[in-house]
């Protein structure tokens, strides 16, 4: 499915599709095995960091996009919390959230969402993009 960034509204149809065709089927699979094997999830690489760093972009910063990401991520965390699995939330990489103003935008965004931060084990970085630390090894 391709996202129509120019669409107006709250993205309710897309959110419902995300829940029913992605999160809920994954939940049903994990529900069968969560007591037999430890499950660790990385929730939504790039989505919330995109909002924090690109709020001026008409695609990433639109109400529909922000509502879809915030609602979808909160739904995922609250849904998978029922299984008592370990969850990490993507926090992009230092090139995105390594700047103090972007870090605070990300924190403010999380505090404005409908889930408890204590549901998470922590944060992951360098999931969908990568920024090395220090100097690269010489060849």
124 SS3 class: strand
Q: Which two tokens stand for residue 17?
A: 């599709």
Write out the catalytic residue numbers: 46
State how far the Cα of 21 lies from the Cα of 6, in Å rounded to an integer.
Answer: 23
Please tell me the predicted confidence (pLDDT) of residue 1. Answer: 44
Quickly tell me which residue has 């999931």 as its tokens: 127
Name the average pLDDT for the chain: 87
pLDDT in tens, 6-65: 667 888 898 999 999 999 999 999 999 999 999 999 998 888 988 888 878 777 778 888
Please tell me the predicted confidence (pLDDT) of residue 9. Answer: 80
**What is this structure's pTM?**
0.86
State how far the Cα of 61 lies from the Cα of 65, in Å rounded to an integer.
Answer: 7
Please tell me the predicted confidence (pLDDT) of residue 133. Answer: 60
Exposure string (b/e) for 28-65, b if CB count within 10 Å is 16 or more? eebeeebeeeeeebebbbbbbbbbbbeeeeeebebebb
Assign 3-state DSSP to the chain and report helix, strand, coil percentages, each to 5. 50, 10, 45
Which ranges constitute the DSSP H helices of 5-139? 12-18, 24-33, 47-53, 63-81, 94-97, 100-111
Please tell me the predicted confidence (pLDDT) of residue 108. Answer: 94
pLDDT in tens, 77-135: 999 999 999 999 999 887 788 778 889 999 999 999 999 999 999 999 888 777 766 66
């Amino acid at each position: 499915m391709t996202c129509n960034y120019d669409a107006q509204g709250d993205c309710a149809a897309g959110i419902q599709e995300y829940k029913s065709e992605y999160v809920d089927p994954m939940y049903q699979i994990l529900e069968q095995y969560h007591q037999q094997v430890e499950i660790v999830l990385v929730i939504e690489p790039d989505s919330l960091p995109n909002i924090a760093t690109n709020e001026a972009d008409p695609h990433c910063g639109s109400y529909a996009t922000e509502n879809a990401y915030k609602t979808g991520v909160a739904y995922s965390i609250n849904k998978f919390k029922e299984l008592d699995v370990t969850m990490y939330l993507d926090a992009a990489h230092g090139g995105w959230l390594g700047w103090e103003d972007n870090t605070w935008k990300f924190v403010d965004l999380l505090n404005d969402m409908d889930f408890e931060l204590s549901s998470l084990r922590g944060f992951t970085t360098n999931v969908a993009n990568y920024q090395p630390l220090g100097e690269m090894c010489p060849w």
